[in-house]
Structure 1
Amino acid sequence: MLSARLPLDPQLVLAPVPRRLFGTFVEHMGRAVYEGIYEPGHPTADAEGFRGDVLALVRELGATTVRYPGGNFVSGYRWEDGVGPRADRPVRLDAAWHSTETNAVGLHEFASWAAQADLELMYAVNLGTRGIDAAADVLEYANHPAGTALSDQRRRNGADAPFAIGLWCLGNEVDGPWQIGHKTADEYGRLAAETARLMTFLDPDIELVAAGSSNAEMPTFGEWERTVLTHTAGLVHHISVHAYYEEQDGDAVSFLASATALDRYIDTVAAIIDEVGAGPGSAHPVGISVDEWNVWSQTRWNEHDKTAVLTGGWPEHPRLIEDTYTVTDAVVVGSLLISLLRHSDRVSMANLAQLVNVIAPIRCEPGGPAWRQSTFFPFQHTATRARGSVLAADVDSPEIDTLRHGAAPLVDAVATVDDDGRMTVFACNRSLEDAAELTIDVTDASAATSGYRLVRAETLTIPADGDRHTTNTAEAQPVGMRPLTVPAPQAAATPTPPSSSITVVLPALSWSVLELAPTRKTPHE
């Protein structure tokens, strides 16, 4: 059995847990909106046409923010098409996803749905085919109370109170040649700066996200960030990172180590922010917004799905990148969440891309059921159980050599502590074959605490009658959280005696959550 150790001191705090770290993303793409969150006529649909079963799962997921309306879609989007009476809205061709957009859902409808789902709206503006004036117009329409042509138009369209959107993305993946309105770093940096300047004139309370590189493999990565940050210094609050990972050529070992690549990606962008002088110590610090991240089989998309889309006419909401997620995918998603938490001092927010149907933790069928994919569970349990502050801690683990990412620890972990001293440990075992014994050593100089006890332990791993490729479907849900076995003499998932050293066994290929509660000293101790 593998052996790993995690030393914890509840007094050694890295940073508060950013609640926006648990954001998500809904793009007008495939069946994310239409037949995803919105399906008039579905048995659970409300008066506005939004699916109640999907909404219930979104609430259960525990997400905090939602990025909208794109994505690649936004780079050709006219925001005006999605407001006003539905009967008067134009039908458009969406060149980004080779689809027909009906505009049945727009800003008003989506803002209403986001409010029902308890999600903070993060709105992206089109800096592909449009620019400064359109971005300023949608901001005034959305946020100004009343008394101007645009704000009064919003009120006539049914929203008397402003939407008060606080987060705004300045375009999307503008560095990519696949993007509508693709630009060089200088071109985009200048446009983003002037757009940010005008938007801030109109509403000084908003936060702005500049578009960083589309991925760490872009030939312009690094220099793009330096150029954009130099242009937008003092004007933007965040710069984006987009990161997708997949299993290539059956190399599960490298795939399971994907979080080490995300670690390096974030560290590199943080170093560039510091180099430009926009780091934590600056007058206007810039955070990292990982506003698209997930597991996504891009190879299949590029080799097969993309051709089908481009030769299939202009359908309404076609099925696009509806990946079916496995146990392996779920463990990788859990490990990526560990990486994000570990960088809470630099990552200001993050969005799992996407929310429903399109590479999503939630799937549904038209007129039929909605269900949780395997990746639903690590996100849900991290979003709902990471509270308070992230602890500064490094796991001591044996390593494995990977073809794509170099050496990677077989066991990875991160921990949070809340105001009551309760700690939550998130841990993954990347080994495909061996269980791992993880010993958590707690050092606490607090005079009020005599030790810690394990009060809850759960894991996601291969089901007894499955393998690493097991998935959840509408008919069966074999992948989910189950009690974690605690070594004898303790029974599974039952409280253990107070101790400064707690040991659990992490199954091979698993992601786990452990909750530790402090034992308070009595007045006589």
Structure 2
Amino acid sequence: MPETRIALDRSARVAPANRRLFGSFVEHLGRCVYDGIYEPGHPTANEDGFRLDVVDLVRELGSTTIRYPGGNFVSGFRWEDSVGPREKRPVRRDLAWHSLESNQVGLDEFSRWLKLTGSELMLAVNLGTRGIESALDLLEYANHPSGTALSDWRIANGTPEPHDIRMWCLGNEMDGPWQTGYMTADDYGKLAARTAAAMKMADKDLELVVCGSSGSGMPTFGEWERIVLEHSYEHVDFISAHAYYQERGGDLGSFLASSIDMQYFIDTVVATADHVGYKLKSTKKINISFDEWNIWYLDEHKESEEVNDEWRFAPRQLEDVYSVADAVVLGNLLITLLKNSDRVTSASLAQLVNVIAPIMTEPGGAAWRQTTFYPFSVMSRLTRGEILRPTITTGTYETAVHGEAGLVDAVASYDAEDGSAAVFLVNRSQTETETVRIDVRDLGVSSVREAVSLWDEDVYAKNTLQQQDRVGLRPNSTAALDGGVLTVELPPVSWTAVALG
């Protein structure tokens, strides 16, 4: 049986475990909002129309920061349409997804939903078809206590206390030709800088996210970041990164190694941001907000006709049904984000419900967990204290897309306050169980508190409306701690978590 050796040392500290890395994303797209989190006629709906069965699953998932309301949607959004009496809110066309928006859920309602889930709001402003004035108006409506026209309008609309939103996104994917109002890096950088400067005149403690590249395959990747940051560096705190992965052409081996591309993406953006900082002789560091990441079978959706010109309310769009292999890759991507948490300090799994999501719903019916729900929820629950970067000695295999890839990848967290630790691992081998021996002597742990794996004899097994619990977590009885060495066996194409105390 192949063997991997891992060493964990408290001195190999990356950064404190940041809860914002377990963020998610709710966009007015498809059935994410309507028939997803909001369905007034559902048996579990509260007085606001929000499904409480979905709220329970969101809390179990452990999502923290929620990016809202887009996404491509925000580049045509008039925020004023979504506040005030619901019966007076206009229906608008959403050009991004060619659907109709009823505006029945807006900032005030969504903020109440966030309180139910215990999540923090990360709000995006429209820099596609609008600009500085609209962003400042939204900031005043959302955050000013009272005594101004827009703050008093919020109060009159039934929200007496300010929303106190700290994180703001300056537009969305403005490098993409698909984006309403997309721009060159120079034009966007100038607009973002002016908008950021104005917003910080209103509140100098805001945390602002400037748009980075929509993917590492964009022709402007790297150069976009450089130009945008040369304009906006001193006014912003984060630059965004977006990445989606899928299996193509039956090449499971390359798909399982997708995190190699995510690492390349992070390394490139960090190097570019630091280069601009050095050039400007700045003492600040720009961190990454990886505020869209997931598995997304985009090729298949592009070939379908689900996004069309019928102008429907809440059509079924981008409703990927995820497999075991998809969940293993997602777990590996989250491992990569944690290993880079010194510079990636915010992240959003896109999206939360129905649309390429860990949670699915049926109108009037059930809500259930997709396979991807499990690694995210367990890692959110167990990650505490500080992130440790392990030293890994493992076998390798060749991929067509990413070159050489390790068979095993891993990350760990350690909480000095209670002496607990957690190790998260993936086995990318498609055929072999991998025995892993982990030296944990430096952590001072003495017992295995929990060990679970996600795997299946069928790597393409999925949870569906008809079989909602086909795939789930399995106890991993092989995990054993002896003499400061943790031994665990990882099935082929699997994700595993081991909690120690």
Indicate the TM-score class for this superposition, using the shorter chain for normalisation.
Answer: over 0.9
- Matched residue, 2:461: 470
User: Shift of residue 421 of structure 1?
Assistant: 2.4
The question of 1:335 aligning with 2:332 is answered yes
Q: Aligned pairs, how many? A: 498
- Matched residue, 1:257: 257
- Matched residue, 1:268: 268
User: Shift of residue 167 of structure 1?
Assistant: 0.5
> Which one-letter code corresponds to 1:22 in the other structure?
F
The question of 1:508 aligning with 2:500 is answered no
Give the conservation status (yes or no) of the 8 Å contact 1:245–1:297: yes
Structure 2 gap ranges (5+): none
**Structure-2 change in CA distance of 1:182 and 1:421 (3 Å):** same
Compute the TM-score of the two structures, normalised by the length of structure 1.
0.93
Secondary structure at the counterpart of residue 447 of structure 2: strand
Q: Deviations over 1:165-206 (max 9, x none)?
A: 001000000000000001000000000000000000111121
Secondary structure at the counterpart of residue 310 of structure 1: coil
- Matched residue, 1:84: 84
Instruction: Report the Cα distance in structure 2 between the residues aligned to 1:393 and 1:277, rounded to whole angstroms.
Output: 29
Give the conservation status (yes or no) of the 8 Å contact 2:306–2:317: no
Instruction: Report the Cα distance in structure 2 between the residues aligned to 1:478 and 1:58, rounded to whole angstroms.
Output: 20
Secondary structure at the counterpart of residue 177 of structure 1: coil
**Structure-2 change in CA distance of 1:285 and 1:278 (3 Å):** farther
Give the conservation status (yes or no) of the 8 Å contact 2:242–2:292: yes
> Which one-letter code corresponds to 2:428 in the other structure?
R
Instruction: Report the Cα distance in structure 1 between the residues aligned to 2:269 and 2:11, rounded to whole angstroms.
Output: 28
> CA-atom RMSD, angstroms?
1.4
User: Shift of residue 282 of structure 1?
Assistant: 5.1
The question of 1:290 aligning with 2:290 is answered yes
| Matches for 1:318-357 after TM superposition, within 5 Å | 318-357=315-354
Give the conservation status (yes or no) of the 8 Å contact 2:44–2:53: yes
Instruction: Report the Cα distance in structure 2 between the residues aligned to 1:237 and 1:51, rounded to whole angstroms.
Output: 35
Give the conservation status (yes or no) of the 8 Å contact 1:10–1:421: no
Instruction: Report the Cα distance in structure 2 between the residues aligned to 1:323 and 1:165, rounded to whole angstroms.
Output: 31
| Matches for 1:54-453 after TM superposition, within 5 Å | 54-277=54-277, 283-304=283-304, 307-311=305-309, 313-419=310-416, 420-444=418-442, 449=444, 452-453=446-447
Instruction: Report the Cα distance in structure 2 between the residues aligned to 1:238 and 1:505, rounded to whole angstroms.
Output: 39
Secondary structure at the counterpart of residue 408 of structure 1: strand
User: Shift of residue 278 of structure 1?
Assistant: 6.8
Instruction: Report the Cα distance in structure 2 between the residues aligned to 1:217 and 1:424, rounded to whole angstroms.
Output: 34
Instruction: Report the Cα distance in structure 1 between the residues aligned to 2:342 and 2:334, rounded to whole angstroms.
Output: 14
Give the conservation status (yes or no) of the 8 Å contact 1:7–1:394: yes
Instruction: Report the Cα distance in structure 1 between the residues aligned to 2:433 and 2:306, rounded to whole angstroms.
Output: 42
Q: Deviations over 1:232-284 (max 9, x none)?
A: 111100000000000001111000000111011111111111111179x9533
Instruction: Report the Cα distance in structure 1 between the residues aligned to 2:135 and 2:26, rounded to whole angstroms.
Output: 19
- Matched residue, 1:457: 451
User: Shift of residue 443 of structure 1?
Assistant: 4.0
User: Shift of residue 481 of structure 1?
Assistant: 1.1
Q: Which runs of 4+ in 1 moved over 4 A?
A: none
Secondary structure at the counterpart of residue 392 of structure 2: coil
User: Shift of residue 454 of structure 1?
Assistant: 2.6
Q: Deviations over 1:110-130 (max 9, x none)?
A: 111011111100000000000
Name whichever of 17-26 and 1-10 sits farther off: 1-10
Q: Deviations over 1:68-120 (max 9, x none)?
A: 00000000000000000011111101101000101000111111101111110
User: Shift of residue 394 of structure 1?
Assistant: 2.5
Instruction: Report the Cα distance in structure 1 between the residues aligned to 2:231 and 2:153, rounded to whole angstroms.
Output: 34
User: Shift of residue 310 of structure 1?
Assistant: 1.8
> Which one-letter code corresponds to 1:315 in the other structure?
R
Instruction: Report the Cα distance in structure 1 between the residues aligned to 2:250 and 2:348, rounded to whole angstroms.
Output: 27
| Matches for 1:47-58 after TM superposition, within 5 Å | 47-58=47-58
Secondary structure at the counterpart of residue 425 of structure 1: strand
Instruction: Report the Cα distance in structure 1 between the residues aligned to 2:146 and 2:490, rounded to whole angstroms.
Output: 57
- Matched residue, 1:523: none
Secondary structure at the counterpart of residue 277 of structure 1: helix
Instruction: Report the Cα distance in structure 2 between the residues aligned to 1:442 and 1:87, rounded to whole angstroms.
Output: 60
> Which one-letter code corresponds to 2:140 in the other structure?
E
Compute the TM-score of the two structures, normalised by the length of structure 2.
0.97
Name whichever of 270-279 and 335-344 sits farther off: 270-279
User: Shift of residue 497 of structure 1?
Assistant: 5.4
Instruction: Report the Cα distance in structure 2 between the residues aligned to 1:59 and 1:472, rounded to whole angstroms.
Output: 20
Secondary structure at the counterpart of residue 80 of structure 2: helix
> Which one-letter code corresponds to 2:450 in the other structure?
R
User: Shift of residue 31 of structure 1?
Assistant: 0.2
Instruction: Report the Cα distance in structure 2 between the residues aligned to 1:8 and 1:428, rounded to whole angstroms.
Output: 16
